Amino acid sequence: MKILGTRAVLVSLMVLGLAGTGCDSTPGATADVDAIEVSGDVPADVQVDAPADVPADVPADVQIDVAIDSTGDSLDPPDVPPPAVTLETYPRVDGSTSNIPLARVIACELFGMPWQWDYQPQTPDSDFPEKSVFPAPATVQQEALATGIMELTVHTKTHQSYLNLIDGTKDLILVASAPSPDERAYAVEKGITLVWAPLALDALVFLVNQENPVQGLTAQQVRQIFMGEVTNWKDVGGLDQPIAPYIRPENSGSQQLMQELMMKELTMPVWPEDLIIAGMGGLVDRIKEDPNALGYSVYYYVTWQYSIGGMRMVAIDGVAPGASTLADGTYPQVAPVYVVTRTDLDPTSMAARMRDWLQVSGGQAVVAKSGYVPVIPVAASAGLVQE
């Protein structure tokens, strides 16, 4: 598909099922269109799982990539002010574990609360303390507010947060991946339509032990390793040692990214239980301990939250992951972080106001402060994102 104009905006409509009916999906089916009329109330760069709005001639479960010429002012995002939140009116927010620092930065900035990176108490998922963002009250009056912010930014992990949003116990979630097939099916079962929009850029990264001489792998080599076809490091430029491929449980955020970005249509074999690591920190611990390990995580987590030493990221197809290669798209496994809501969310609600603000320059500048690569380049150019 040809993108129209230098300021073209890509809108993806993720279509699942038909309103009020059930049907079989066709995995991998894709329809590319050069032009399609998009109503003015469809936000730019937003993905909508909206069975009710599918044209009759479009098969279910088809992704439609729509190129919109946004050189006109009418399609520019409106100026959205930050929502005037209180502890009582703050949206019910949930999300991925890796997005807790982002959630706290957003909350602190909206409340005018100072914040800082610091180590948090040891968790069951890891052997070492992880770093996170914490409110840093400067006055006695801010102490209660700081406690409230911590209570408002508890995340239940990717899969559970999707279930909570679908069930209506949460208003907005910040997650490291789009909804999985299981989560989309659950939404259809409950009669709920989800809307997810890119908020920041992260990436699926591959980790080896610090002593491993391998500096990079091709995507094909990674797929062969996790399919069990390549089992020795000497076959990919390393030592004559067996490869220990560690994976995450099904429906975890990084496992879903692994399937979507790297494995694609391939289905990994059933690996032994001792190679399936429940927590993000636990997988990094295993890489640090096992000189023959290969595992995966997300760039933000191993850069900002759990950079413990003893392991390192490898280049994929000759490109190393970093803020610059995520921003320019040269690293091949870039993965957006999404803000997700339901279509029945009141557009005047605090959650809707927060969602809309996060997608314009003011909210994106706050995203950059958290260490994430924002989706709006101007926020990154302000010098807030470090390599």
Which pLDDT tens digit goes with each residue over 43-77? Answer: 333 333 333 222 222 223 322 222 222 333 333 45
- For residue 48, tell me if it sits in a domain: yes
Of the candidate ranges 15-29, 65-79, 152-166, 296-310, the one whose mean pLDDT is the lowest: 15-29
For the segment 373-387, the average pLDDT, to the nearest whole number, is 56
* 223 and 186 in a common domain: no
Confidence (pTM) = 0.74
Residue 8 CB neighbours (<10 A): 16
* 215 and 186 in a common domain: no
For the segment 82-101, the average pLDDT, to the nearest whole number, is 95
d(CA 359, CA 253): 22
Q: What is the pLDDT of residue 120?
A: 80
Could you tell me what percent of the chain has a pLDDT over 70?
A: 76
Residue 266: pLDDT band by 50, 70, 90 thresholds? very high
Q: What are phi and psi of 134, to 5 degrees?
A: -135, 145
* 101 and 59 in a common domain: no
> Alpha carbon of 343 to those of 5, 51, 191, 383: distances in Å?
30, 12, 11, 35
Higher-scoring residue by pLDDT: 186, 23: 186
> Alpha carbon of 34 to those of 46, 65, 71, 341, 370: distances in Å?
18, 9, 17, 29, 37
- For residue 221, tell me if it sits in a domain: yes
d(CA 293, CA 206): 10
Lookup: tokens for 335: 């993965």
Give residue-wise pLDDT tens across range 173-215.
Answer: 999 888 988 999 999 999 999 999 999 999 999 999 999 999 9
Domain span at 271: 202-327
- For residue 302, tell me if it sits in a domain: yes
Residue 236 CB neighbours (<10 A): 17
Higher-scoring residue by pLDDT: 50, 154: 154
* 196 and 164 in a common domain: yes
Closest C-alpha to 174, from 90, 281, 97: 97
Higher-scoring residue by pLDDT: 385, 336: 336
* 292 and 209 in a common domain: yes
Closest C-alpha to 183, from 296, 331, 338, 288: 338
Q: What is the pLDDT of residue 78?
A: 60
Is the per-residue pLDDT at 302 higher than 60? yes
Final residue before a domain boundary, out of 278, 300, 327:
327
* 323 and 209 in a common domain: yes
The answer to whether 262 and 221 are in contact (CB under 8 A) is no
Final residue before a domain boundary, out of 9, 44, 76:
76
Where helices occur in 97-198 by DSSP H, the ranges are 100-111, 141-152, 158-167, 181-190
* 212 and 196 in a common domain: no
d(CA 5, CA 380): 22
Q: How many domains does the chain have?
A: 3
* CATH number assigned to the domain comprising residue 165: 3.40.190.10
Could you tell me what percent of the chain has a pLDDT over 90?
A: 66
DSSP at 77: P
* 54 and 9 in a common domain: yes
Of the candidate ranges 75-79, 162-166, 313-317, the one whose mean pLDDT is the lowest: 75-79
Residue with tokens 């429906």: 251
- For residue 12, tell me if it sits in a domain: yes
* 246 and 303 in a common domain: yes
Q: Burial of 185 by CB count in 10 Å (0-12 exposed, 13-18 middle, 19+ buried)? A: middle
